[in-house]
Amino acid sequence: MDVQLGRIRFIQGDNGGKYPFNHSVYLEGKDCRVIIDPSCGLQKLSDLKQKEKVDQVWLSHWHEDHMGFLYLFEHCPLRISEKDFPPLTDIEIFLDWYNIKDEQLRELWKNIVLNNFNYRPQKDALFFRDEETIDLGSLKVQVIATPGHTPGHLSFFIPDEEVLFLGDYDLTTFGPWYGDLYSSIEQTIESIRRLKSIPARRWMASHNTGLFEENPGKLWYDYENVVYQREEKILNFLKEPQSLDEIAGAWLIYGKPREPREFFESNERALVGKHIEYLERTGRITMDGGKYIRI
């Protein structure tokens, strides 16, 4: 259900805001009206475009499920972090940032992004400055840098309404995603803790539950703790030396094989790979003879 909170509207995404959709946010400033992450659904965004004014489109980050209907607003200025802009300029860069190297999988993903998410290369964008405050007219928005999920992931705080848009730090039971080429486990943890510390009264996230009108409380702890649970599963699995293929093939992240297989196998390997890099970097595992072992 869509919810209006002063000059802020939470627009519930199709499929409950689950991938390939998200929840969008509409900011009704007196001088400028903004849609954040236009991927809630074709009908709602088409109605918004026809019945109400949209002056700018803001993206919290570069992922395909946050820009599925960006083409509806192609005449509006686009704003994003400069750090997250390169994947929007070229489909090959987009696939590179997902670290997709297998040619068959790369071609599959290219078709999905082009056809299912209406990808169109962007030539220009306005770039947010980290921590800047933007005055839309009777509505001020603080830009909060929350890297980790992506290098330039942004969250937005509206102090007058005490509303915090979390973006893809969505407090789901699955936990945070940090499997892209330039994602970071360390920065993800820092960003979760930063968001938790902001004095909001309502919280909006991009997926699933989406709108929290009471403090998420224990969900903050549970969400961050998923990172450590994944780490513990991998370390336990490494009681015997294992290759990366063997670790990824154990489905420690998703728990079991899921369909479509090529999508989830890629995701599993990406997240496992990030943890392997992190555990190596922090001196808790090492490679010996092509297999990882605990130290």
| Domain ranges (residues) in the chain | 3-81+124-216, 221-294
Identity of the residue numbered 160: D
pTM value is 0.96
Q: What is the pLDDT along the chain (295 residues), one digit of tens a residue?
A: 999 999 999 999 999 999 999 999 999 999 999 999 999 999 999 999 999 999 999 999 999 999 999 999 999 999 999 999 999 999 999 999 999 999 999 999 999 999 999 999 999 999 999 999 999 999 999 999 999 999 999 999 999 999 999 999 999 999 999 999 999 999 999 999 999 999 999 999 999 999 999 999 999 999 999 999 999 999 999 999 999 999 999 999 999 999 988 889 999 999 999 999 999 999 999 999 999 999 9
User: Six-digit token pair at 198?
Assistant: 């902001």
| Closest-CA residue to 95 (of 81, 76, 109) | 109
Burial tier of 179 (Cβ tally within 10 Å: 0-12, 13-18, 19+): buried
Give just the sign of the alpha carbon dihedral 170, 173, 177, 178.
positive
The span from the CA of 295 to the CA of 285, in Å, is 5
Q: Check for a shared fold between 3-81+124-216 and 221-294.
A: no
The fold of the 221-294 domain, in CATH, is Arc Repressor Mutant, subunit A (1.10.10)
The span from the CA of 253 to the CA of 179, in Å, is 12
The span from the CA of 161 to the CA of 99, in Å, is 39
The span from the CA of 177 to the CA of 185, in Å, is 9
Give me the pLDDT at residue 65, please.
98
Cα end-to-end distance, the chain, whole Å? 50
Give just the sign of the alpha carbon dihedral 226, 227, 229, 233.
positive
Task: Decide if 150 contacts 169 (C-beta within 8 A).
Answer: no
The span from the CA of 25 to the CA of 166, in Å, is 11
Task: Decide if 154 contacts 81 (C-beta within 8 A).
Answer: yes
Pick the CATH number of 3-81+124-216 from 3.60.15.10, 2.60.40.10, 3.30.360.10, 3.30.70.100: 3.60.15.10
- Three-state SS letters, the chain: CCEEECCEEEECCHHHHCCCCCCEEEEECCCCEEEECCCCCHHHHHHHHHHCCCCEEECCCCCHHHCCCHHHHCCCCEEEEHHHCHHHHCHHHHHHHCCCCCHHHHHHHHHHHHHCCCCCCCCCCEEECCCCEEECCCCEEEEEECCCCCCCCEEEEECCCCEEEEECCCCCCCCCCCCCCCCCHHHHHHHHHHHHHCCCCEEEECCCCCEECCCCCHHHHHHHHHHHHHHHHHHHHCCCCECHHHHHHCCCCCCCCCCCHHHHHHHHHHHHHHHHHHHHHCCCEEEECCEEEEC
The span from the CA of 35 to the CA of 6, in Å, is 15
Give me the pLDDT at residue 262, please.
84
**In angstroms, what CA-CA distances link 190 with 57, 71, 146, 149?**
27, 33, 8, 11
